[in-house]
Structure 1
Amino acid sequence: MKTILEALYRGQLHPHETIVPSHPEYQHLSQQVVAQTEQWRNRLGEEAFRKLEEYFDLCDSVNSMQVEAAFQHGFRLGVNLMIEVSGNREEWLQKAASGLL
């Protein structure tokens, strides 16, 4: 079995393709989006709807960049937290042994 690091390095790990929100309303809201999209397509006609889709694509690009930045920030924060905790490991063990935690 390959390590996560190996899979990531070799381009075999694509978590963004498999993430599905677990929020209870996600499925319902997703279905509403699909239904309303079809309604707008019918109301606007193909040409106007195509322009609206181009606008939404721009919005999606901006949102994707924000999500990517948030992921990177969160990942860095998590790694720094691990470094901080592991750097004080001896102090933590001493406190734990003396009952101070």
Structure 2
Amino acid sequence: MESILEALYRGQLHPDETIVPSHPEYRRLGRQIGAMTEKWRKELSDEMFRELEEYSDLCVSLNSLHVEAAFIHGFRLGANMIIEVMSKREELIPNAASGVS
């Protein structure tokens, strides 16, 4: 089995492409967006619909940058938590030399 670090180094990890939210609203909201998009495709002129798609693409790009920043922040926070825990581990292990059990 390949390690996570090896997979990361080789560019084999793509969590942004494989994550599907498990929130119960996710699929329902996706269907709603699809239905509204089709409604607007029929009701708007080609030019207006293209502008709406450009707006939507900009919103997706902005959201993607936010999600990336949140991922990095969360990863750093988790790593710092591990560092803090590991740096204090000696406090949790009784010192046999002191006679404390």
Question: TM-score normalized by structure 2?
Answer: 0.89
Task: Indicate whether 1:59 and 2:62 are aligned.
Answer: no
Q: Please give the alpha-carbon distance, in whole angstroms, between the structure 2 residues aligned to 1:92 and 1:60.
A: 46
Max radius of gyration: which structure? 2
Q: Where does residue 14 of structure 1 map in the other structure?
A: 14
Q: Please give the alpha-carbon distance, in whole angstroms, between the structure 2 residues aligned to 1:93 and 1:44.
A: 69
Task: Indicate whether 1:89 and 2:69 are aligned.
Answer: no
Of all paired residues, the percent bearing the same amino acid is: 65
Aligned residue type for 1:3: S
Q: Please give the alpha-carbon distance, in whole angstroms, between the structure 2 residues aligned to 1:16 and 1:87.
A: 32
Deviations 1:24-70 (A, max 9, x none): 11111111110111001111122210111111111111111111001
Give 3-state SS (helix, strand or coil) of 2:93's partner.
helix
Q: Which runs of 5+ in 1 are unaligned?
A: none
Q: Which runs of 5+ in 2 are unaligned?
A: 95-99
Give 3-state SS (helix, strand or coil) of 1:21's partner.
coil
Aligned residues: 96
Counterparts of residues 32-47 of structure 1 (less than 5 Å):
32-47=32-47
Give 3-state SS (helix, strand or coil) of 2:20's partner.
coil
